[in-house]
Amino acid sequence: MNNRIVTLCLMGLLAMAAPGLAATQTFGPDFSRFTVDVPDGWTAKPNDGGCQITSPDGGTSVSIQVQKNGGRSAAEIAGLIGGQLGGKIVKTENEGPNQTTVYAELDGVRVAVMIVVDGDKFAAFTMAGSDAETMKKIVGSIADAH
């Protein structure tokens, strides 16, 4: 009995110490719906092909877009997106035929755009701001909606 009380107390303390819980939300076009965990206090707004998730202070954001790739590779799509970013392209990393990441600096803000091609579609993950840990958690939580 005492072990059960201690366990319950520890679970309660951990719950109170945990940062804001995430709410799972569903976004994306009809041909490729996905779920993503949105941290407590952050705002998620749907847009064409996905969503924009923004921190409470507006200083960090993650955009997730799913579109048809038109037969283009990740590097080709990254080149098109990189040309539209403006700012200074710092580097481009080709991580294989299906994934390319473009790193840029826009008005002093570091931006990374990761392109992943899957069959006839691609996902673009645009991450901007300084809260890298939360951005990684958001992107890591993305899953196909069933």
Provide the residue-wise pLDDT of the chain in tens; the chain has 146 residues. 433 443 333 333 333 334 456 799 999 999 999 999 999 999 999 998 999 999 999 999 999 999 999 999 998 998 888 778 777 888 889 888 899 999 988 888 889 999 999 999 999 999 999 899 999 999 999 999 87
Query: Which pair of tokens denotes residue 6?
Result: 């201690």
Looking at domain 21-144, its CATH superfamily turns out to be Mog1/PsbP, alpha/beta/alpha sandwich (3.40.1000.10)
Check residue 20 and give its pLDDT: 56
Spatial strand order of the sheet with 143-144 comes to 22-27, 34-39, 143-144
Closest by CA to 67, choosing from 92, 34, 39, 100, is 34
| Cα 71 to Cα 109: distance, rounded to the nearest angstrom | 32
Residue type, 93: E
pTM: 0.79
* Spans of all domains in the chain: 21-144
